[in-house]
Amino acid sequence: MTAGTEQPELTSPGTGTGIDAAADAARRVIESLLRSGDRGGTDLDTVADRLNAVADDLDRGAPDLAARMVHMWRGDGVTRHDPVTGPENAIAPPLHLTGCEDGSVEATVELGLAHQGPPGYVHGGMSALLLDHTLGVANHWAGLSGMTAELTLRYLRPTPLFTPLTVAAHQVSVDGRRIRTSGSISADGRECVRAEGLFVATHPARPR
């Protein structure tokens, strides 16, 4: 953490090259498939063949799972592969969380068709996924993190797609190993979803 006006990034920013560029492109494929559906002019069986060929090539060169798990979890920094902030995980939007001086964490993100629940709105479970992770990062930023024991989401109004969303969280209290954390997703300055979490300060061992 550096003092000053710059808010430190708490998640991996992504390099835009190599594996990160490949995951970015996979993200585009996911969204483009939903955007065109079976209404586009592209032959979809050929698309399937092209994508399967990429997966085949990747699988051929992949290390065994145990070795990959060790490599994936090396170091003690932020993860690069989680489904919320991981630049290497095409499921992740990804969220770029920064730490604020008041102890909270915050990100701005815009979600598309891959994250849709009701027509034109974010899936409630997707909001839960983003908030669970963001509460976890808020704990990390506050200095004591752990595993989710309980999470409560309150849906105040539908969360719009294709709109900049503010995802924010802060640690509320610590009582021994029990951590309480709150967060929210807002659009146009109005809260759409509120989250409250109880975390327990424990971490499963990293693979070695």
The region of 5-13, 33-41, 95-103, 178-186 touching a second copy under the rule CB under 8 A is: 33-41
Stretch that binds a second copy, among 3-11, 57-65, 163-171, 180-188 (CB under 8 A): 57-65
Query: What phi and psi, each to the nearest 5 degrees, are found at residue 203?
Result: -135, 135
If one asks whether residue 1 binds a second copy (CB under 8 A), the answer comes out as no
User: Are residues 185 and 191 in contact, defined by beta-carbon separation less than 8 angstroms?
Assistant: yes
Tell whether residue 76 is a contact of a second copy (CB under 8 A): no
Which residues have a Cβ under 8 Å from the Cβ of 62 and sit 6 or more positions away? 68
Residue 62 found at the interface with a second copy (CB under 8 A): yes
d(CA 139, CA 123): 25
Using CB under 8 A as the binding rule, whether residue 119 contacts a second copy is answered as yes
Which of residues 54, 108, 164, 177 is near a second copy by CB under 8 A?
A: 54
What is the smallest separation between the CB atom of 189 and a second copy, expressed in angstroms?
21
Over the window 143 to 182, marking each residue x when it contacts a second copy by CB under 8 A and - when it does not, the resulting string is ----xxxxxxxxx--x------------------------
Rounded to whole angstroms, the Cα distance separating 13 from 2 reads: 17
Please report whether residue 36 would count as binding a second copy according to CB under 8 A: yes
CA distance 147 to 205: 12
The Cα–Cα gap between 133 and 112 comes to 19
In whole angstroms, how close is the CB of 69 to a second copy at the nearest point? 7
Q: Is the dihedral of CA 136, 148, 122, 188 positive or negative?
A: negative
Q: Is 51 in the site for a second copy (CB under 8 A)?
A: yes
